[in-house]
Amino acid sequence: MWKELGSGDKYKGKINMHNITLIKGDGIGPEISDAVLRIIKSAGVEINWDVQTAGADVIETEGTPLPDRVIESVKRNKVALKSPVTTPIGKGFRSVNVQLRKELDLYSNLRPCYNLPNVKTRYENVDIVVVRENTEDLYAGIERQIDEDTAESIKRITRSASERIAKFAFDYAVKNNRKSVTVVTKANICKLSDGLFLESARNVSKNYGLPLKEILVDNCCMQLVQNPNQFDVLLLPNLYGDIVSDLCAGLIGGLGVAQGANIGKDYAVFEPVHGSAPDIAGQNKANPTAMLMSAIEMLNYIGENKAGERIKKALFKTLEADVKTADLGGSATCSEFTDEIIKNL
């Protein structure tokens, strides 16, 4: 189970070399990947990167945006850092992200959302962790065409998956000194499916000393916009989690600073929330912050906490000095922003 590791945990001490899969993706993916790798290397972390390509750019040569070699690499190394990957729309290819999560059983999508220094937003002191179930709900892709005018999607919720993600949320909350977990559903309408998710959360909460709060997803969205500081850890089914996590990213400055992790029993993939932004690819304009924040969580996961903390402090110092990329209101290029972070290390 992922957590902020302490001095007594299994990763105690310096680990000389880590084998980690790097999925470079496409669009701005290779640029921000290179920037983050430079920063990690400058922080003194020794990583043997197993570099894999995926996305729209490999379809022509391999016939799929997610070749088997990528899955095999992650299974071999257990941990991956992934940059944005483009899945062609309307061409019969399944989402790379969804396929990765299913193949590796990455059942938990973890998205911490908190304010970064000098990143403009109307909200202050936001500190929310979104825990999203990652394997079922409408994202299971169970659909059928009833006739030419009617299509049907099946919303699939199981007790086992619901209890598993609820346990993850409560374990995370306890280990990271959070104060409460709020389960988000639409159980007043989807009485069976969302009702089962809610019931599972209630049952799991009995094993912990933390309060479980309950809220309907529409009210949750309104409350997040009005007063996000009332929330701590949010526990959601797949679809609501996807929507609410992007809403929370908006509270702290947008997808350019939003980190993410997909964690299962055996494997973990860390990635930024934003897309591949092909319109600015190759122009040295990309913001590597979200991928860097995801990489910091990855460093914590593998036990390189000290390096992760140094990188975070260097990033924050860079932002405080008003060195920012264009999307955050600054004028620095991707390479200039990266250089400044490395200098601040």
Q: List all residues 6 or more positions away from 137 whose beta carbon is below 8 Å from its beta carbon.
A: 155, 156, 157, 237, 238, 239
Total residue count of the chain as it appears in this document: 345
State CA 330 to chain mean position distance.
25
From residue 123, give the alpha-carbon distance in Å to each of 126, 152, 256.
7, 39, 16
CB 37 within 8 A of CB 335: no
Set out the domains of the chain in order of their start, with CATH numbers. Answer: 17-107+259-345 (3.40.718.10), 122-251 (3.40.718.10)
Name the token pair of 186. 């639409």
Strand order in the sheet with 18-23: 47-52, 18-23, 79-82, 268-272, 259-263, 108-114, 127-133, 233-236, 181-185, 212-216
User: What is the block-wise mean pLDDT of the chain (345 residues), using blocks of 10 residues?
Assistant: 38 65 92 96 96 87 91 97 81 77 94 96 96 93 92 96 98 96 98 98 97 98 97 98 96 94 96 90 94 96 95 97 94 96 96
Instruction: Say if residue 11 is exposed, middle or buried (CB neighbours under 10 Å; 0-12, 13-18, 19+).
Output: middle
Q: Give the distance from CA 199 to its chain's centroid.
A: 26
pLDDT of residue 183: 98
pTM, two decimal places: 0.90
Three-state SS at 124: coil
Cα–Cα–Cα angle for 252, 106, 7, rounded to 5 degrees: 70
As a three-state string, the secondary structure of 127-162 is EEEEEEECCCEHHHCCEEEEECCEEEECCECCHHHH
Closest CA to 344 of 43, 119, 34: 43
pLDDT at 58: 87
What is d(CA 252, CA 125) in angstroms, rounded to the nearest whole number? 9
Question: Helices in the chain by DSSP H: which ranges?
Answer: 29-42, 59-62, 68-77, 96-103, 159-175, 193-205, 217-226, 238-251, 289-301, 305-320, 334-344
Here the tokens at position 252 are: 């702290």
pLDDT of the residue at 96: 83
- Rounded CA-CA distance 338/332 in Å is 9
Euclidean distance between CA atoms 180 and 131, whole angstroms: 13
